[in-house]
Amino acid sequence: MANGVDMPLLGFGVFQIPPDVTERCVKDALSLGYRMIDTAQVYGNEEGVGKAIAECGIPRKELFIVTKVWLSNYGYEKAKASIEESLRKLRTDYIDLLLLHQPYCDVYGAYKALEEAYRAGKLRAIGVSNFYPGRLMDICRNTEIPPMVNQVETHVYNQRFEGRKYMKELNVVPMAWAPFAQGRNGFFTNETLVAIGKKYGKNPSQVALRYMMDMGIVVIPKTTHKDRMAENFNVFDFKLTDEDRAEIAKLDTKEPVILKDHSTPEATKLILDLKEMLEKSAAEKK
**118: CB partners within 8 A, 6+ apart:** 124, 125, 126, 145
Query: Is residue 166 annotated as part of the catalytic site, yes or no?
Result: no
Report the b/e string of 62-96 with b at 16+ CB within 10 A: ebbbbbbbbbbbbbbebbbebbeebbebbbbebbb
User: Whole-angstrom Cα distance, residue 152 to residue 159?
Assistant: 10
- From the candidates 43, 111, 132, 157, give the one annotated as an active-site residue: 43
User: Whole-angstrom Cα distance, residue 90 to residue 54?
Assistant: 8
For 15-18, the CB contacts below 8 A with 24+ separation are 15/40, 15/43, 15/177, 15/222, 16/43, 16/222, 17/43, 17/45, 17/48, 17/222, 17/224, 18/45
Q: Which residues are catalytic?
A: 43
